[in-house]
A and B are shown apart, each in its own frame.
Chain A
Amino acid sequence: MKALETKDLCKNFGGLRAIRDVSIIVEEGERRAIIGPNGAGKTTLFHLISGFLLPTLGSVTLFGRDVTRLQIHQRAELGISRTFQVTNLFQKLTLFDNILLGVQAMQRSRSCFWRPLSSFHDTTRETERILREWSLWEKRDVPVKNLSYGEQRQIEVILALATQPRLLLLDEPTAGLSAAESASMTSFIKGLPPEITIILIEHDMDVAFEIADKITVLYFGSVLAEGPPGEIRGNAKVTEVYLG
């Protein structure tokens, strides 16, 4: 089954054609990297897939359902979850509450306002399980803003996973990380359950080539090349515009 299909996707900002006729298909369970120079439209493409922007033309299909006109939260309910290039967590809330908001997002209890949170044991137990799984339980009461940048980048991904997505969009998960942190993030992503489809934007070529089954190269809003890592590495056009 196709996890994601975009057809002739276009996005214009005034006279700027940020995304031009992008048609990509990502199969369920696939690990896809999207690479390209600055300004190639990678993040814009993520915004179009997750619903933060609506396309000028074209369509987006998630798990066989046309979502082109759906709002962000409606797409999330279909099993899509994303992270952000600039860390986007609930800075003043504790780590526990951060993850809890992710866990709660897909439960009916999320709009209950007449019962205390602590009485929803499924939610709190699942939050505890996640925190223990990633050895973060000891830090549960720390406001996220007091955690290190590396930890915040990891929590950025864990929070996206807390909604149990079928399709995970990672926007530069290694942005700003040291070489060592970047390597541990890479193995962290590689270790995610194989049934989760992952699309990641990556600046670091080594990370992209290591994680991805297939790579899409964007250049000035269009798909320049697409294929397995080996093929992309040998592609003359890609070498010219990107790898140098």
Chain B
Amino acid sequence: MRTAGMSTSRLLTALIAVLVALLLPFVVSPYYVGLAVQICIYAIFAASLDILVGHTGLPSMGHAAYFGAAGYATAFLCLAGVKSFWLSLVVGAAVGSATAALFGLLALRAQGPYFMIISMALAQVLWGVAFKWRSLTRGDDGIPGIRRPSLGIGVDLKPDLHFYYFILIISILAYLAIYLIARSPFGCALRGIRESESRMKALGYNVWLHKYTAFILAGCFAGVSGILWVFYSGYVNPTDLGIDLSVKGLLMIILGGSGMLFGPATGAALIVLLQNIISGLTQRWSLIMGIIYVAAVMLFSEGILSMFKRGRE
């Protein structure tokens, strides 16, 4: 992996992907540009989850919590009259990180399948709060009418084309940042933890602190994706915190390949496109998506099955 050939081909793939993304609005209809925005946002979400699942070996089932918490924070800011994207970004990322910091304290006490269940349960608590606390969150009606933010640099985000390029740039930057984390000494230590916690401890690593830091970083980037999502859809509701989204994130990683640079982005693209194509063909699209998910889990056993194996050890 340190050979020059590999990194050249990776760089080439990345450049082609970016080029395609840049030219997209001139080739396809605005509807598909909208899907491309979704893919960008989900790519960050899936990549942030992959820090936990693919690199650290922590099968989190509650990753939507940080996405949704940041989304709600953005909505509240918007209701309070905040227009600046940068302020929303800082607050949203901070809320995502802080939620992860709190949940991590509780979830990291458990291992394997127990960790999965606790991470899911914690996210469901947030979902329940958003669903029931009507005076604050308006329950399952959600909070609509969130306007696109201003950048304060003279670029208007109201035209869809501007918004697309803006999301693309932020996504590429976030994706690069996550890639840098994965390639850092810290990222290598995370993979060591995935392979053998006991050995890492014996070598002198503070395993708990590494996992906790990974948890907070993952929450931070999930928060970033949540902010972008709310600005894209103009709307936040409890499903942004729900189990559906958490599982969708996992499936993106499994489909695309966990622990790989392009894995989460590929998975995000596949799932967004499949869902839209199939739901255009039949009303029973969720059944077909279900079959595809089952097939994916069976065929790409390296993903979720190896996680279960780790849990048993």
Contacts from A to B (Cβ < 8 Å): 50, 52, 71-73, 76-77, 81-82, 84, 88-94, 96-97, 100-102, 104-106, 109-118, 120, 123, 141, 159-160, 162-163
B201 at the interface (CB under 8 A from A): yes
6 closest Cβ contacts across the A-B interface? A76-B204, A113-B186, A90-B195, A105-B203, A72-B201, A105-B204
A63 to chain B, nearest CB (A): 15
**Which of A77, A94, A105 has the largest count of B CB atoms less than 10 A from its CB?**
A105
Among B188-204, those with CB < 8 Å from A are 188-189, 191-192, 195-196, 198-204
What are 22 A-B interface contacts by the 8 Å CB criterion?
A: A72-B202, A73-B206, A76-B202, A81-B202, A82-B202, A84-B199, A88-B198, A89-B195, A90-B192, A90-B195, A92-B195, A97-B188, A101-B188, A101-B189, A104-B189, A113-B184, A114-B181, A114-B184, A116-B184, A117-B185, A141-B1, A141-B2
A97 and B185 in contact, given A72-B202, A102-B203, A106-B204 (Cβ under 8 angstroms): no
Residues of chain B within 8 A (CB-CB) of A118 are: 2, 183
**Which of A104, A118, A141 has the largest count of B CB atoms less than 10 A from its CB?**
A104
User: Does B196 contact A89, Cβ atoms closer than 8 Å?
Assistant: yes
User: Does A94 contact B188, Cβ atoms closer than 8 Å?
Assistant: no
Residues of chain B within 8 A (CB-CB) of A163 are: 203-204
User: Does B185 contact A112, Cβ atoms closer than 8 Å?
Assistant: yes
User: Does A104 contact B188, Cβ atoms closer than 8 Å?
Assistant: yes
User: Does A110 contact B185, Cβ atoms closer than 8 Å?
Assistant: yes
User: Does A112 contact B184, Cβ atoms closer than 8 Å?
Assistant: yes
B217 at the interface (CB under 8 A from A): yes
Q: How far is the CA of A163 from the CA of B192 in the complex (A)?
A: 15
**Beyond A113-B186, A159-B199, 7 additional pairs, beta carbon < 8 A:** A88-B196, A89-B196, A89-B199, A93-B192, A101-B192, A117-B184, A141-B2
**Which of A72, A97, A101, A116 has the largest count of B CB atoms less than 10 A from its CB?**
A101
Residues of chain B within 8 A (CB-CB) of A113 are: 180-181, 184-187, 213, 217
Residues of chain A within 8 A (CB-CB) of B188 are: 97, 100-101, 104, 117
Residues of chain A within 8 A (CB-CB) of B1 are: 94, 141
Q: Which of B184, B186, B195, B205 contacts A73 (CB 8 A)?
A: B205
User: Does B204 contact A73, Cβ atoms closer than 8 Å?
Assistant: yes
Q: How far is the CA of A91 from the CA of B213 in the complex (A)?
A: 24
Q: How far is the CA of A93 from the CA of B193 in the complex (A)?
A: 11
Q: Give a binary string over B157-189; 1 marks a CB under 8 Å from any A CB, 0 the rest.
A: 000000000000000000000001101111111
Q: Which of A52, A81, A116 contacts B180 (CB 8 A)?
A: A116
Q: How far is the CA of A4 from the CA of B224 in the complex (A)?
A: 50
Chain B interface residue count, CB cutoff 8 Å, equals 30
User: Does A116 contact B203, Cβ atoms closer than 8 Å?
Assistant: no
User: Does B199 contact A88, Cβ atoms closer than 8 Å?
Assistant: yes
**Which of B1, B3, B205 has the largest count of A CB atoms less than 10 A from its CB?**
B205
Closest to B202 in A: A82
Closest to A144 in B: B195
Q: How far is the CA of A76 from the CA of B201 in the complex (A)?
A: 8
B210 at the interface (CB under 8 A from A): yes
Among B204-227, those with CB < 8 Å from A are 204-207, 209-210, 213, 217
User: Does A109 contact B185, Cβ atoms closer than 8 Å?
Assistant: yes
User: Does A111 contact B213, Cβ atoms closer than 8 Å?
Assistant: yes
Closest to A118 in B: B2
User: Does A117 contact B187, Cβ atoms closer than 8 Å?
Assistant: yes
B57 to chain A, nearest CB (A): 10
B7 to chain A, nearest CB (A): 10
Residues of chain B within 8 A (CB-CB) of A117 are: 183-185, 187-188
Q: How far is the CA of A73 from the CA of B207 in the complex (A)?
A: 8
Residues of chain B within 8 A (CB-CB) of A96 are: 2
Residues of chain A within 8 A (CB-CB) of B184 are: 112-117
User: Does A84 contact B198, Cβ atoms closer than 8 Å?
Assistant: yes
**Which of B186, B199, B213 has the largest count of A CB atoms less than 10 A from its CB?**
B199
Q: How far is the CA of A123 from the CA of B209 in the complex (A)?
A: 21
Q: How far is the CA of A112 from the CA of B217 in the complex (A)?
A: 13
Closest to A50 in B: B202
User: Does B185 contact A123, Cβ atoms closer than 8 Å?
Assistant: yes
User: Does A81 contact B203, Cβ atoms closer than 8 Å?
Assistant: yes
Residues of chain A within 8 A (CB-CB) of B180 are: 113-116
B176 to chain A, nearest CB (A): 11
**Which of A50, A71, A90, A94 has the largest count of B CB atoms less than 10 A from its CB?**
A90
Residues of chain A within 8 A (CB-CB) of B181 are: 113-114
Q: How far is the CA of A209 from the CA of B173 in the complex (A)?
A: 60
